[in-house]
Amino acid sequence: MQDVIIIGCGVIGAACAYHLSRYRLRVTVLEAGNDVAAGTTKANSAIIHAGYDPEPGTLMARLNAEGSPMAEAICRRLDVPYRKNGSMVLAFGEEDRACLRTLLERGRKNGIPELRLLSGDEARAMEPALSETVTEALLAPTAAIVNPWEYALAMAETAVRNGAALHRSCRVTAIAREAEGFAVTTSGGVFRGRFIINAAGVHAGEVHELIGEKNFTIRPVKGEYYLLDKSEGGRVARTIFQCPSAAGKGVLAAPTVHGNLIVGPTADPSAPDDVSNTAGGMEAVRALALRSVPGIRFRENIRNFAGVRANSDRGDFILEESPSAPGFFNAVGICSPGLSAAPAIARYLAELMAAKGLELQEKEAFIDTRRRVRFRELDGGAQNELIARDARYGRVICRCETVTEGEILDCLRQPIPPVSINGVKRRVGAGMGRCQGGFCGPRVQEILARELGVRAEDIPLEEPGSYILTGETKEARP
């Protein structure tokens, strides 16, 4: 019998596991996919929002304001790429200027520090690539950028190091009430727990309705993006927003912690798992982004992708015990600023469960550090020391990102090792460069097959079935 079962291991499930693992609790995480952070968490804008956008008094506002500094501290402790680069919201006319003043007032009510308005000229002095049509801007110096999937992975790994159990490829199919809690039937067996946290993202409504009566609706919204080469990574230093609308925060242009430029997203109603890109969506992103930053060179695009946000019909985070299933806690409708608010959401849910009888006794020893080798960031001396200790650090597998075999082997020894080529990509960056795995993909596949003791044909690109090889070709006979 587990104390808490967490369904879903995106950034919210990972943050919940990380927070609860500091207590003397039995915690199990059930993830339907074959990896953590493989849904919305890997396909978003990678922004830690300052907190001026949410309506004051909402959970979004409170937990964004609390969560952003918590996220910074966690990234520092767990060695996750994070950079406080600040953000700007642009105005192009009187209607937009009124919007900026609304956002400024909201931000002040939400307790966000250092917000200020800039004239168009002041904004361009800070960001020379901005359009001449920009008349004013709201500057938020505390906004940041992060590696979102490594952020979630680092929290999940730390939870596992501290005793939490993670089960991947474990899709929940039924939930039943029992005398001491719940029986959760999955594709990987039956798990029993006193409390459940539903962090299943776009599928959270379906999971809740396995045990409780419907009292919310998830309305998935797809966002399409461009990822541009590092040659465009210095186009802007800050995250550049346009004024938000009912559909979301609008199209942005932002540097990434990896040195690229990300541009997007759209905001279109979608099926829960539709991550396709469309010609119309990409053209819309391009046209809107050029309004803010007219010099963006979209021919430097190296990848398009899409993510689906789990908007709900309530317009706020839904963080509550199910009215029809006591002990079952929903963490749903976690759209933007969910990435920013994640650690505060986890703490809030723990407090809700504690009020219902979950004992939160802190462990005497809690592992709260993590370090990983990033070969290309080391100086020559440190690189030579690594190679002397293990020659595999001297074998570069990914030329675009200078990722070595030693780093790939490191990630395979971690508490949550990858089982796919993209799983390696998310952990160490092999395949994230200009050629998008064209050179290193087969070599990563070879290493995975060798280290996991399986055939190369059994290594998928992502989920099972996304195979690259299906067998050997036979020499044609005359």
Q: pLDDT-based confidence at 122, cuts 50/70/90?
A: very high
Helix (H) or strand (E) holding 241: strand 239-242
Q: What is the pLDDT of residue 7?
A: 98
More confident residue, 168 or 244: 168
Tens digits of residue pLDDT in 123-161: 999 999 999 999 999 999 999 999 999 999 999 999 999
Classified as helix, coil or strand, 195 is strand
Phi, psi of 148 (to 5 degrees): -70, -40
5's enclosing H/E stretch is strand 2-7
Q: 108-131 burial string, b = 16+ CB within 10 Å, else e?
A: eebebeebebbebeebbeebebbb
Arithmetic mean of pLDDT, 166-192: 97
Contacts of residue 446, Cβ cutoff 8 Å, sequence gap at least 6: 456
Of the CA atoms within 13 Å of residue 232, those in its CB half-sphere come to 22
Please report the pLDDT score of residue 29 as a whole number: 98
3-state secondary structure of 30: strand
Quickly state the pLDDT bin for 278 (edges 50, 70, 90): very high
Q: Closest Cα to residue 403, out of 370, 458, 441, 371? A: 441
d(CA 245, CA 50): 18
The percent of residues in the chain predicted with pLDDT above 90, rounded, is: 97
pLDDT (tens digit per residue) in 245-258: 765 668 999 999 99
Question: Which of 77, 80, 79, 49 is CA-nearest to residue 65?
Answer: 49
Predicted local distance difference test score (pLDDT) of residue 466: 95
pLDDT at 74 over 70: yes
Tokens of 140: 């938020």
CA distance 251 to 90: 11
Catalytic residues: 49
pLDDT at res. 472: 76
432, with CB counted inside 10 A (0-12, 13-18, 19+), is buried
Q: Is the pLDDT of residue 478 over 70?
A: no
Look at residue 245 in the predicted model and tell me its pLDDT.
Answer: 72
Mean pLDDT for all residues in the chain: 96
Task: Please name which of 315, 273, 265, 322 lies closest in space to residue 289, comparing C-alpha atoms.
Answer: 265
Per-residue pLDDT at 221 exceeds 70: yes
What pTM value is reported for the model?
Answer: 0.96
d(CA 343, CA 13): 10
pLDDT in tens, 402-434: 999 999 999 999 999 999 999 999 999 999 999
- As a whole number, mean pLDDT of residues 183-201 equals 98
- Both tokens of 145, joined, read 């950028």
Cα(first)–Cα(last) distance of the chain, in Å? 65
**pLDDT given at position 244:** 85
For 433, residues 6+ apart whose C-beta sits below 8 A from its C-beta are 302, 398, 399, 400, 401
> According to the model, what pLDDT value does residue 246 have?
65
- 289-335 confidence digits (pLDDT tens): 999 999 999 999 999 999 999 999 999 999 999 999 999 999 999 99
